[in-house]
Structure formats: C-alpha cells, structure tokens
Structure 1
Amino acid sequence: MHGHFGANDDASAIDRVATQKPATLRDGYVVRRYLRLDDERHMLVELSSEPCFPVKQAITIARPDPSRMDYYQRTGIYTATGEGMSVGVSADGFKRDCVTSLEIAETPR
C-alpha cells in the first residue's frame, strides 16, 4: 500500500490523500485512499463499495465485542480491541453490508 500510494513527508495528510489514485488489489477490492500517519502506528484505508467487501467478513476477521452488536448494526461503525491493537470498520451509509473504511491503530498496553 505504502509503495503504491507513496508518501510525501513534507505534505500535510490532507494533501497526501487528495492526490491519490485508487488501487485495485489482487482480490479485486479497490482502495480509494490510504494514509499511514507519521507515527506509523495508525493506518486509515478507504475502500470502494464496488466490489463490496462484506461487513460480515470484516466482523469475522476483527471479532468486535458481541455485546455491542446491536449498537454497531444501527450505526454501521464496528470496533474491536485486543492484543495491543484497535480496529475500526465503517459500513457504507447506503449499502450497509459493505465496508467503506478501515482504521487500525496500536493501543497503549
């Protein structure tokens, strides 16, 4: 990801993202924007909803807190923490079954 989207350390995060061109991954999913913040412990990815990366698949991978699933399903924002990491997954407002953004961050232990 970093190789395709590159980095211009002199540019602001907004400028870095504004100039990016989408990348199609080998499995066909399209990354629209990618940002790895300067501390390298925080990554943001925006996915295209076509083809749709299923929310159900993201839930299987990230395993968010099951006691909060009703809340997540209403908001379309899923979070999971553990092993020193936090993962946030957001669903498309119109296609609630498709992931449109992903945030991964290291959490203090």
Structure 2
Amino acid sequence: MSASRPVYSTELGRLCPGCGKPVAVCACKKGGAPLGDGQVRVRRETGGRGGKTVTTVRGLPLAEAALQQLAKQLKAACGTGGTCKGGVVEVHGDHVERVLAWLTQQGYKPKKAGG
C-alpha cells in the first residue's frame, strides 16, 4: 500500500492529490479535476437580491478562467449583465430557457432546477 496524502486541510482547503499543495497554487495540475459535480443546473432565483431575478448556472466543470470566459459569452447571448463568482454564473433577469438552449448548443447537458 502506498503512502496516502491528505486531500483537505482546514487551514488550506482542498489539496492536490499529486503534489499536496493547495489546489489554487498546484504546480503539477493533477488537482485540476472538474469542479462541481458535473451536472449543470440552471435555476431562477430572487432570494437575497431585493426582489430582482437572476438566472444561476451551477456545476459547470470548468476552471475559474474558463468559467469567466463562458459567463461572458452567456451574458452576451442573453443580452444582459451578470457575474461569475464562487463557481456560479449569474445572469441578470429570467433567462432560464435561453440559457438552457445556449448550454445545450455548446455541448453541455443542463438541467432545469427549482420551480
């Protein structure tokens, strides 16, 4: 049996299984496993936004830089603003159907979540 490495530290967060460093500063890039659970979920949310509606996309298996680029393209396709933070893409407004169609066209298999 080989020596095992920790995969999580309360001090540093997720650790790379290859080099043992935090995933954010991994030198070997073996810790670049897909983020999220691989199931793309599109949802309309209003909570905590003063009654404003946003469409959120979670579970995209992309690194932060690629996720930022995809968010930019998605916002342009919807003709609206938004943001990308914490692995979640937020598009201003109720664009669930448009986002589902766009993600399907890009090769993802999105699911409508929530109501």
Instruction: Give the TM-score band, short-chain normalised.
Output: under 0.3
TM-score by length of 1: 0.28
1 or 2, which has the higher strand percentage? 1
TM-score by length of 2: 0.27
